[in-house]
Amino acid sequence: MSKLGINSTIAQYRTFMEYRFQAYKIELTQLLQQLKNFGLLFLVVLGSGMLGMILLLFLGLGKTIDGSAAPQYGGQMAWLYLLLQSVMLSAMKSVIKNSQQRHFQRTIVRANWLKFMDIKLLLLSNGWLLTSVVIALDLTLSQWLRAPHFVLFMLLQFGLGVLCLYKPRALIYGLVFTAILVLLPINIAPLAYHCGFIILFTLSMLLPAISLSDQLSVKSLFTFWLSFFIQHSWVLVWRVALLLCMFMAITTLLHERADLAAIFSVIATAFMVLFTSSLQFYCGKLHERYQLFFQANNQLWLFFISQFIPSCLFFLITLISYLWFVAKIEWLLMCLSVGWCALQLYIAQKKPAHYALVWMITTGGLLAALT
């Protein structure tokens, strides 16, 4: 290729790069605006908990790096870290790939240019990996010698980001398999855990796709709701991820400050109620969309009642999981939590604008009364 052709190619790539970066900024702004418009609820929760989330981020990395004392716990923290990264990148996937204009881009540039820009924007968006890199640069040689698995962990962070963009099915399979690995009652070295992660995620790419929605026939209210959550699993995935994060944080805090168990129990209950009862916003919208259909089939009342069942089941499963894996809750608080969840479901249905206010007032009242 002549020098003129090389310069022309470079100029074209720079133009395409500027275009993709501008599209990235615009779509990211729109995504943040959608979160802002979603309501006061998540602004309050994310805003008030931002410092705690940052501290948890560095605490989790510290446990991942220094996993020699409790390698299984370090492996669990690494898995949780990878899960939360995957959830965040999944939310930003369409922004990173500029999915709305993807077909148009394929007609004007080479396929490898698209993927190269995807990777560049992925690195820019992956704050979890950037945090690990910052910490890695601060480690001394002796610390590196004690934590060689941290290199594999950063490679996993990058690799899972790529899987999130191009093979989300393998990402889901891999997270399930690695979750089983870190929950097995075995005690292996941190390096072995991370090698196991790499092997399991690699094997996950070889598994065939399984589509449950294609095999499911909607013949009842149960299969109707099941089909909805299979096709819109994201509304459950990010809630489960944040609940797991909360479980791990409470476990760590209870280990450090057992004398504050009453306060931690109220906080855990508050977030369990928040993340489970807010599911009613989605179920309520679905009820409004399909109520005429079920009215025509003389099932309007049953359909109305059924919209509250997913949130109630989600809350009960979450509460039982917390009691089983994390800590016990006093009977009074447990009974109050059931009534509190029912109250939040009622507010979400009748007064959605007051949902966050009721949640905050109830949380403050319980903290004042029970601690």
- In sequence order, the 6+-apart residues with CB closer than 8 A to the CB of 331 are none
pLDDT of residue 117: 92
pLDDT of residue 260: 85
d(CA 143, CA 61): 14
Q: Which residue has the tokens 């479901």?
A: 345
Query: Which pLDDT score is estimated for 9?
Result: 80
Both structure tokens of 327? 């800590």
Extract the tokens encoding 130: 């950037």
The confidence score (pLDDT) of residue 5 equals 67
pLDDT tens, position by position, 117-172: 999 999 999 988 988 888 888 888 888 888 889 999 999 999 999 999 999 889 98
Unique residue bearing structure tokens 């790539």: 13
Query: What whole-number distance in Å separates Cα of residue 136 and Cα of residue 139?
Result: 5
Distance CA 179, CA 184 (A): 9
What is the pTM (predicted TM-score) of this model? Answer: 0.79
Per-residue tens of pLDDT for the chain, all 371 residues: 566 667 778 888 888 888 899 989 988 888 777 665 454 455 555 555 555 556 666 666 776 777 666 788 888 888 988 988 898 898 889 999 988 888 888 888 888 889 999 999 999 999 889 888 888 888 888 888 888 899 999 999 999 999 999 998 899 899 989 989 988 888 888 899 999 999 999 999 998 866 655 566 667 788 888 888 888 887 888 888 888 878 877 887 787 788 888 889 998 999 999 999 999 998 998 988 888 888 888 888 998 999 999 999 999 999 999 999 888 888 999 999 999 999 999 999 998 888 888 888 898 899 888 76
In angstroms, the CA 298 to CA 255 distance is 54
Q: Which two tokens stand for residue 217?
A: 């026939």
Report how far residue 30's alpha carbon sits from residue 46's, in angstroms, rounded to the nearest whole number: 18
Asked if residues 26 and 121 have their Cβ atoms less than 8 Å apart, the reply is no
What residues contact residue 126 under an 8 Å CB cut-off, 6+ apart? 85, 89, 157, 158, 161
d(CA 171, CA 205): 8
Residues 8-25 have pLDDT tens digits of 788 888 888 888 999 899
Rounded to a whole number of angstroms, the distance between the first and last alpha carbons of the chain is: 75
Compute the half-sphere exposure of residue 304: CA atoms within 13 Å on the CB side of its CA.
8
Can you give the chain as a three-state secondary structure string?
A: CCHHHHHHHHHHHHHHHHHHHHHHHHHHHHHHHHHHHCCHHHHHHHHHCHHHHHHHHHHHHHHHHCCCCCHHHHHHHHHHHHHHHHHHHHHHHHHHHCHHHHHHHHCCCCHHHHHHHHHHHHHHHCHHHHHHHHHHHHCCHHHHHHCCHHHHHHHHHHHHHHHHHHCHHHHHHHHHHHHHHHHCCCCCCHHHHHHHHHHHHHHHCCCCCCCHHHHCCCCCHHHHHHHHHHHCCHHHHHHHHHHHHHHHHHHHHHHHCHHHHHHHHHHHHHHHHHHHHCCHHHHHHHHHHHHHHHHHCCCHHHHHHHCCHHHHHHHHHHHHHHHHHCCCCCHHHHHHHHHHHHHHHHHHHHCHHHHHHHHHHHHHHHHHHHC
Q: What is the pLDDT, as a whole number, of residue 334?
A: 92
Residue 141's pLDDT is: 84
